[in-house]
Amino acid sequence: IPPLCFFVSGLPDVLAYLDMVGEVSLAFEKELQQYAYDMIFLIPPEKKIYVQDHHRKEDFETAILAHEKIQARYATQYNPFIVPWGTPEERVEFILTQCNAQRL
């Protein structure tokens, strides 16, 4: 069984952010179609822990909009898993359970 490899963001995220600023690049969108992921996990922003900092420059409302755009972009090619809110351990368990089910 090959090892698992996770990415914090994927190429469709770029398209989602371009959607947010009204920039459409059909050539770029077509170019990205040659790259694929086996599974997609999305973690919605959570108001209880959301902090604006040097990594998260947008306010919470903008983060929600970005998440919606990202989810819509992934949904065009994939059936993304929405990771439920919980402890980090519970989230890891959810993700690994889905990965193991996919690999069977």
Average pLDDT over residues 10-25: 90
Cα angle for residues 36, 81, 97 (degrees, 5° grid): 100
Could you tell me the two tokens for 57? 């420059």
Q: Which residue has the tokens 């970005």?
A: 66
Q: Residue count of the chain, please give it.
A: 104
> Distances in Å between the alpha carbon of 47 and those of 16, 53, 57, 73, 102?
21, 14, 15, 23, 31
Average pLDDT over residues 39-66: 92
Average pLDDT over residues 59-80: 94
Average pLDDT over residues 17-41: 90
E strand or H helix that includes residue 101: helix 88-103
Average pLDDT over residues 52-63: 90
pLDDT band at 104 (very low <50, low <70, confident <90, very high): low
Q: Which residue has the tokens 């980090």?
A: 88
pLDDT band at 1 (very low <50, low <70, confident <90, very high): low
